[in-house]
Amino acid sequence: MERNSKESNVGSSVLVPSVQELAKQPSSAIPNRYLRPELERDAVAHGGGDQVLEIPVIDMQRLDSEESMNSEIHKLDFACKEWGFFQLVNHGVSLRLLEKVKAELEEFFKLPMEEKKKLWQCPGDVEGFGQAFVVSEGQKLDWCDLFNMLTHPLHLRNPRLFPNLPLPLRDTMELYTSELNKLSTAILEKIVEAIGMKTEEMKEFVGEGRQTIRVNYYPPCHLSDQVLGVTPHSDATLITILLQLNDVHGLQVRKDGNWVPVKPLPNAFIHNVGDILEIITNGTYRSIEHRATVNREKERLSFATFIGVGAGGEIGPAPSLVSKQKPAMFRRVKVEEYYKGMFSPSNVGSSLLVPSVQELAKQPLSGIPNRYLRPELEQDVVADGGGPVLEIPVIDMQKLVSEEPMNSELDKLDFACKEWGFFQLVNHGVSLTLLEKVNTQIQDFFNLPKEEKNRFWQYPGQVEGFGQSFVVSEDQKLDWADIFYILTLPLHLRKPHLFHNLPLPLRDTLESYSSELNNLFKAILAKIVEALSMKTEEMEEFIGEGRQSIRVNYYPPCPLPEQVVGLTPHSDASIITILLQLNEVEGLQIRKDGKWVPVKPLPNAFIVNIGDLLEIITNGTYRSIEHRATVNSERERLSFATFCGPRNDGEIGPAQSLISEQRPAMFRRVEVKEYYKGLFARKLQGKSYLDFMRIQHN
C-alpha cells in the first residue's frame, strides 16, 4: 500500500546540531541554548525519611494467571490512577531479543556522523536523527540526540528510513516492534478490565493502531545540573513502553510536586499512561509529567515505544465511563485533528518562567526589585483632563444590527476603527448573568493558594498557563502582573492539562463565555467588512475556523505605581481583542496623538480594539493602537482579554479588494504559522513586529 504522508505526519521540528558531536568537543562552557536556570528551583525526592518513593511494579505473568489475576489487576489500577507509571516484569519478551536491541542500538549511535547524516531529519519532518518539538531558533534545547521513526502500520513507514537501517539492526527492529505490538495489546486488555470499560470501545478507539519508536541518546555533560536531557512533558499516546539500554539512570516522574527518580529493574519495561488514555478513561487514569536528567560522566541511552490510535477514528471519553456523577471531561475529536493540534499546534509561542508578582506583592517590600522598575515612565505624557476630555468612542451593537439607524452606527464604527483603533461596545447581547459569573469565578481562581495554581503554571518553553508572556531573556524588564493564558478555540488545540483541569464551575462558565465571544467576534467582523466595503469571502478565507485565546490579567497593588508598568506598551497580534473589566479599578491607557489616554470602562461594556492582523488585512486603513496597563497603589486590578485571530493553516496579507494603484500593498503576505513564530520569538515592544511586516515603498 502506498504511504500516505498526511496520515504518517508525526510532526515537524527545526533542525538543530548533534549534541553527541557537541559533547565530543573540548569545551568549558555549555552553549546558552542548553542551559536551564529554572532547574535550581526544582524539588527532587531523594528518599529521605522512612518512605522511599518508587513507582509500582506489575508482574505480567500474575496478570495472566487465574489465581493471582484479581490482586494484580488491582495493583495495575492503583498504578495507573495514583502514579501513571509502573515497571512491568515477566513480560514475555525474550531476554535474548532485549540484549540484541541494546547492543545494536548502542552500535547504531556510534556510527560515524557521515553515516548518520543519511538518516537525519529532513526540514519540516521529525523522523530520523535530530530532536523533536523544536519550533523556533531561540528555543531552549535538550541535551540529547534522538532517533525517531514511525513503525506501524507498515504502509506508513518512511521508505527513506526503516528499509535503510543497517543490518542486523533492521531485522531486530522488525522483530522487536512486532513483539511490543503484542505486549501493548495485552496490557490494554488488562487496563480495560481494570477500569471496567467495554472491550469493543477500546478496540474502536485503537483501530489498526499506531506505533512510533524513539531512541534517546544523552551524552555526558560536566554541567549536568544545568541542562536537561528531555524537557518535562506528558506523552501524546495511549501508553508508552520504555526500555533502559544501559545502566545509567536519568528518568524522573513528577509526584506531589517533587521529581521522583526511577530506578529501572533489570530487563523490565517502564510503562506510562499517555494523554490519549487519560482522555479515553475520562480522567480516571492520568498522564504524568516526566523528564530526563543527564549524567556528568557517562552517556545514557533509552528506547521508547509510543503506542497510539489508528487514523480515521475519533478520540474522546469512552461512553461507558461517562455518567451524571462523572460527566465527560474531554471533547471528542478526530484522530487527525488531535495529532495536528499536538504536532503543529497552537504554536502560541514560548516564554521564560518568572516569579509570581501576586506572591511577590504579598511580601513586605522595602523596594521594588530592579527588573520591574521602569525609569522611562517619568517622560511619558498622560492626558490629565485639561482641555477637551478625550474618551474612546462608544458603539451600540443593537443599533448596528438594527435596520433603521444602522448607517449612522456603521459610520461611527468606521470612524472608531480609523481614528482610535478602540471602542466600547454596549448592548452586545452577552447576558449580564454570564458576565457576573465570569467576574466572580475568575477572582476566586486568582485567589487560589499558590500550591493549587502551581498545577496550572507555564511549562518551560511554553506560554500557556499562569506566568507572563514574551519573556525572552533573563535580564528583560518585567511587568507588574501575573497572567493566565490559554488557547480556547479551535477545541482540538486546547492543552489537555489546562482547560479540562480548571476547577468547576469555572470550566463550564469559560466554555459558555468562549462560545458567546466567538459569536460576538463574528458579528463585529461582519460589520467591519461592511464598513470597509470589503468582500465577505475574503475575510472568511482569512479567518477559516478561527483561533481564540484568552488572557486574564492580574495587577497587584504596588507601593511605587509610577515606577512600574502592569503591561508593557504594545499592540495586539490579533484580528480584534475583546476586553472585559473584572473590577472597578481602572488602568488601561491607549496612545493618542503622542499622549496616554486613560480608558474609563462603562459598566458591563466590552472594550474592543483593532489588532495588528486586522491592520494588515485592511492594508492600513484600520490601525492597531499601542496601549498599556498601569498599576494602582492600594488595590488590585483584574481584566479579561479575548484574542480573536485567523486559522492556523492560512495566510495573512492585505485583502485584494483593498489594494489599488493609488494604495499599493503596505504589508507582505506570509503564512499564519510564520507570522506567529516571528512574533513570539520577540519581546513585547510597541508595534515593532508590525513594522517588520511593512513593505517599504519609495
CA distance 155 to 174: 14
The CB density around residue 695, as the number of other CB atoms within 10 Å, is 11
158 to 12, 175, 212, 226, 482: CA distances (angstroms) = 14, 18, 11, 36, 45
DSSP string, 427-452: S-S--HHHHHHHHHHHHHHHTS-HHH
- DSSP result, 64-120: H-TTTHHHHHHHHHHIIIIISEEEEES-SS-HHHHHHHHHHHHHHHTS-HHHHGGGB
The phi and psi torsions of 433 (rounded to 5 degrees) equal -60, -45
Average pLDDT by stretches of 10, the chain with 698 residues: 42 50 61 58 53 87 91 96 96 97 94 85 76 60 87 90 93 97 97 95 94 92 84 91 95 88 96 95 92 91 96 90 85 78 48 59 67 60 60 95 79 96 98 97 91 78 75 70 92 83 93 97 97 94 94 90 88 95 94 91 97 95 94 94 93 93 89 76 51 62
CATH number assigned to the domain covering 5-343: 2.60.120.330
Q: Cα(240)–Cα(269) distance, rounded to whole angstroms?
A: 10
pLDDT of residue 31: 67
Ramachandran angles phi, psi of 329, nearest 5°: -95, -10
* Residues 688-694: contacts with CB under 8 Å, at least 24 apart: 689/573, 689/612, 690/571, 690/612, 690/615, 690/616, 690/624, 693/612, 693/616, 693/667, 693/668, 694/666, 694/667, 694/668
Which pLDDT does position 449 carry in this prediction? 86
> Are the C-beta atoms of residues 321 and 281 closer than 8 Å to each other?
yes
Q: What angle do CA 681, 685, 690 make, to 5 degrees?
A: 75
- The reported pTM is 0.54
Whose cell is 448607517? That residue is: 407
Cell of 132: 523533536
Q: Given this chain, do its domains 5-343 and 395-446+481-693 carry the same CATH topology?
A: yes
From CA 491, how far away is CA 635, in angstroms rounded? Answer: 36
Written as one string, the DSSP assignment of 521-585 is HHHHHHHHHHHHT--HHHHHHHHTT-EEEEEEEEE---SSGGG--SEEEE--SSSEEEEEE-SS-
Name the residue ranges covered by the structural domains of the chain.
Answer: 5-343, 395-446+481-693
CA dist 256 and 455 (Å) reads: 10
Residue 368 dihedral angles phi and psi, to the nearest 5°: -90, 130
Residue 624 to residue 421: CA distance in whole angstroms = 6
pLDDT for the residue numbered 160: 87
Model pLDDT, residue 41:
46
Count of CB atoms situated within 10 Å of the CB of 563: 17
Q: How far apart are CA 678 and CA 39, in angstroms?
A: 27
Nearest to 184 by CA among 151, 139, 218: 151
Buried b (16+ CB within 10 A) or exposed e, 646-682: bebeeebbbbeebeeeeeebbbeebebbebbbebbbe
d(CA 503, CA 56) in angstroms, rounded, equals 29
At residue 202, the pLDDT reads 96
Report whether 348 contacts 557 (CB < 8 A).
Answer: no
Instruction: Provide the CATH number for the domain formed by 395-446+481-693 in this structure.
Output: 2.60.120.330
φ, ψ for residue 553, nearest 5 deg: -105, 125
Predicted local distance difference test score (pLDDT) of residue 511: 95
> Contact, 683 vs 470, CB < 8 A?
yes
Q: Tell me 464's DSSP state.
A: S
Give the pLDDT score at 1.
36
- Which residues, in sequence order, are bridge partners of residue 59? 89
Provide the 10 A C-beta neighbour count for residue 133.
18
Classified as helix, coil or strand, 597 is strand
Q: How far apart are CA 330 and CA 287, in angstroms?
A: 14
